[in-house]
Amino acid sequence: MADCIRHPLPLRLLHTLYGELPTSMLAQALSFSSLLCLVVGVYWLMRSIKDSVFATVVGLEYQPRAKMLSLVVVTGVLFVYGYLVERLTRMQLFVVVFGGYALAFFLAALVLGTESYGLSPTRAPSPDRLVGWFLYFAIESYGSLSTSMFWQYTNSQLEFTSAKAQYGMIVAGGQASHLIRPGPISWPA
């Protein structure tokens, strides 16, 4: 009964599910869990709009070509990633890669908002509208790179002895993104 008074319900639930973790490990696991929720949540959000944006901007008949070219583009991105792995620390690599994707998605959103290049209802789809190709390849490469890079970084930060206790909580954060994901898509503009 004294345990119920000392710990609030969310903390008791975490202790029940994942055992008695020291506060520092609990904070680390929760931060990695939140980060995985964001990484996976962004991917699922972008993946859900990828095909419809491509069809509206470029044209649905070019989607098979985009799927084939995405293999080449993703391979190229992985070569650049391999180059960066040898030259940057893990933290720098994490910041550069995720910062680069954030900038790429932000710029693509800005361009998609313009009348001449973006999602204009008055313009017919055209393969010359490069923003559609760029966004398609950016989303494909993000999906290939982001989760593996997250786990690479996470594995480098966790101690082997504590990893077993923390991994379940981290994976639960990634799964929580599936519950949150439909919200932003269904919000009115």
Kindly state the DSSP code that residue 62 receives in the 8-state scheme.
G
How many residues in the chain?
Answer: 189
**pLDDT (tens digit per residue) in 97-108:** 999 999 999 999
Q: Which amino acid is it at 111?
A: V
Which residues lie below 8 Å from residue 95, measured CB to CB, with a gap of 6+?
none
Q: Of 27-36, 78-87, 178-187, which range is least confident?
A: 178-187
Contact status, residue 136 vs residue 66, Cβ threshold 8 Å: yes
Q: Which amino acid is it at 75?
A: T
> Which residue has better confidence, 121 or 95?
95
Contact status, residue 90 vs residue 81, Cβ threshold 8 Å: no
Q: Of 6-10, 91-95, 124-128, which range is least confident?
A: 6-10
Nearest to 25, CA basis, from 148, 176, 177, 168: 168
Contact status, residue 145 vs residue 73, Cβ threshold 8 Å: no
Cβ atoms within 10 Å of 171's Cβ, excluding its own = 13
> Which residue has better confidence, 17 or 186?
17
> What does the domain layout of the chain look like in residue ranges?
42-161
The pLDDT assigned to 44 comes to: 87
Q: Please check the confidence at residue 184 and state whether its pLDDT lies above 60.
A: no
